[in-house]
Amino acid sequence: MLQFLKYVFATIVGLLLFFVVCFFILVGIGSLMSSSDEKTFVSKNSVLKLDLNQIIRENTPQEDPFTELLSGGRGPGQIGLPQIKEAIANAKLDPNIKGIYLHAEYPTAGFATLEEIRGYLIDFRKSGKFIYSYAEVMSEGAVYLSSVADKSYLNPSGGLDFNGLSAKYTFMKGLFEKIGVKPEIFRVGEYKSAVEPFIRTNMSDANREQTQSFINDIAARFYGDISESRKIPMEELNNILNNALIQEPSDAVKYKLITNTGYWDEFEQALRKAAGEENDKKISYISIHKYLKAEKFVKEGSLSNRIAVIVGEGDIVTGEGEDGSIGSDKIIKELQKARKDNKVKAVVIRINSGGGSSLASDIMWREIELTKKVKPVIASMGDYAASGGYYMAMPCDTIVARPTTITGSIGIFGMLFNVETLMNQKLGITFDGVGTHQYSDFPSATRTMSDAEKMMIQNSVNRGYEEFTSKAAKGRHMSIEKLKSLAGGRVWTGKQAKENGLVDVLGGMDVAISIAAKKAKLKEGDYRVKYYPIQKTGIEAFMEKFGKEREEEKLRAYLGTLAPLAKQVKTLQSMDKLQARIPFEMEIK
């Protein structure tokens, strides 16, 4: 028996060693792949495969070495907006690229990002080259993107989501009451609805008003673009939406949302013909990640003249922050480097954030102010640049936003969780202690705060709001009275913000870069755009992603459907007690 156990133990150890060795071999192979500088050869009559069934971020590593090894060439789980733009712009000029195969079923991106990509595709078509799309199912975002295609195919047994936009909030008051947790809320502004999910079971009238307003504005742009591209009058398009006339793929053809229903082989035959290939010849597809290593036809300007694009994406936090968040220390370092680098002639702050720490937002505001004294600083807003995100934008020389950008939400709130009932009555845990002064244990999550303690926090929130609004008024060259009439936590679209003076110009990243170049007196084609912070290598990104996925798997295993709510609370606990952010969890679809 002992001998048998020895063999079993040796086998287990051997297997563990085998997997460890295999893992490091995999890392080594990936490292070699990622460090390869070999250019991609583009054969004649090639088709760029634009796979947008991914998380579309503001910036990502250009290459993930594990794409081919782990996903069979289907592409990584995320892709950067600058990389999409670079590939489309180069393909427009590449004589070996005949057109684009757009693969978009469930693109994970906000409306402003989809709008920007769609603009790149429209520009590509000016070359006279084709865009063909194919999908088995299509979300409304996919319909929006494919509306610019020459031919759009949908599998005849597939499905298409086309029924209008909705905004949904998740409310947790009932959960907190059941488990004995009482949120203590401090805020300024009737529209500052970020706290509502914790203290209400439904939307307030003010929140309902602002949400209906901005979602209507987004819908007008979203469906207006589809109407224009597909040549469907808006009256007819609204009739389709209000009466749910799209029930199956053939309906989408009937009402001109797409051009064809067909299976993959039928789509490929049409694509082969468009690419000028013979009927039996294999189409030469090239993925976006491979194409980024192909010959460059878009010529870059001088390295001595740079426009630094500093990307801030995610929740705003103090310190370095993690991937997917805006760490104030990290952004400050990039601003300081850009300010001191003589080769950097202008700075664009690219913001895609619903806000976060009020303190971190203010620290970055100061650094942007200092940078603005040395060289032009332009703000470019992505899907969101609200609350703390707007705080980052307001000191810039010029603010550029997409019409569908979610912005504004100028306001502050504070929140603490009182877990006394949960601990005492539900779990049987009690607390006791001593202190040297009256407020030694303030703030405390294990007892009810006194009125004086609550007033101290509310005063802090009030001061934060006055500071936010006064700095916003100064940055926008607006009276404080006028600014406050637009503040109070009110959320606006980019179009509405432009009409109200909170935004200067409507447009995307290219518009912001062009403005920065003009302010720096740089001629077109005489400068180079560089994105910062420098992205992690494919290996680093993989290791970080692997660790996060394991953590989220454990959370889902323990809490099931409650895991997303626990994640929200955990995120809140990692932030400062004063927050400048939009509604914490808002889903628009």
Active site residues: 192, 387
**Residue 440 has which token pair?**
């030694």
Q: d(Cα 312, Cα 328) in Å, to the nearest integer? A: 9
For residue 282, the 8-state DSSP code is P
Whether cis (ω within 30° of 0) applies to the bond prior to 443 is yes
- How many Å separate Cα 562 from the centre of its chain? 23
CA 130 – CA 132 distance, rounded (Å)? 6
Tokens of residue 4, six digits: 């048998």
Both tokens of 257, joined, read 């949302």
Residue 156: CA atoms inside 13 Å, Cβ hemisphere, count?
A: 8
User: The tokens of 370 are what?
Assistant: 């200092």
C-alpha to C-alpha distance for 37 and 294, rounded to whole angstroms: 10
Dihedral sign, Cα of residue 566, residue 387, residue 412, residue 219: negative
**425-428 CB contacts, 8 Å cutoff, 24+ apart:** 425/180, 426/179, 426/180
Rg, Å, the chain Cα set: 26
Q: List, as one string, the DSSP characters of 530-560.
A: EEESPPPPHHHHHHHHHHHHHHHHHHHHHHG
Q: Is the peptide bond before 197 cis (omega within 30 degrees of 0)?
A: no
CA distances to 206, 322, 451, 453, 461 from 437, rounded to whole Å, are 41, 37, 17, 14, 24
Q: Which amino acid is residue 134, in one-letter code?
A: Y
Distance, in Å, from the CA atom of 28 to the CA atom of 22, rounded to the nearest integer, reads 10
Dist CA 579 CA 185 (whole Å): 11
CA-closest candidate to residue 508, choices 117, 88, 91, 109: 117
Annotate 213-237 with three-state secondary structure: HHHHHHHHHHHHHHHHHHCCCHHHH
Measuring CA to CA, which residue among 362, 397, 423 is closest to residue 475?
A: 397
Task: Using alpha carbons only, give the angle 221, 222, 224 rounded to the nearest 5 degrees.
Answer: 60
